[in-house]
Amino acid sequence: MLRYLNQCSRGRGAWLLLALTAFALEMVALWFQHVMMLKPCVLCIYERCALFGVMGAGLVGAIAPKTPLRFVAMGIWIYSAWKGLMLAWEHTMIQLHPSPFVTCDFAARFPGWLPLDKWLPQVFVASGDCAERQWSFLTLEMPQWLVGIFAAYLLVALLVLLAQAFKPKKRDLFGRY
Q: What DSSP line would sit under 114-125, residue for residue?
A: --HHHH-HHHH-
Query: Considering Cα of 5, then 11, then 16, then 19, what sign does the dihedral take?
Result: positive
Q: With a cut of 80, say whether residue 132 has pLDDT above it.
A: no
Tens digit of each residue's pLDDT (9 = 90 or more) over 38-91:
888 888 889 999 999 999 999 998 888 888 888 899 999 999 999 999 999 988
Domain ranges of the chain: 1-165
Overall average pLDDT of the 151-158 stretch = 93
Write down the architecture of domain 1-165 according to CATH: Up-down Bundle (1.20)
**Catalytic one among 8, 10, 12, 44?**
44
**Catalytic one among 104, 109, 133, 171?**
104
Taking the C-alpha atoms of residue 151 and residue 105, their distance in angstroms, rounded to an integer, is 25
Taking the C-alpha atoms of residue 41 and residue 109, their distance in angstroms, rounded to an integer, is 12
Let me know if 8 is a catalytic residue. no
Model pTM score:
0.80
**Catalytic one among 8, 12, 49, 130?**
130
State the chain's mean pLDDT as an integer: 83
**Catalytic one among 12, 48, 133, 171?**
48
Let me know if 41 is a catalytic residue. yes
Task: Report residue 25's pLDDT band, with 50, 70 and 90 as the boundaries.
Answer: very high
**Catalytic one among 3, 12, 41, 109?**
41
Amino acid, res. 171: R
CA nearest 100: which of 130, 133, 57?
Answer: 130
Q: With a cut of 80, say whether residue 9 has pLDDT above it.
A: no
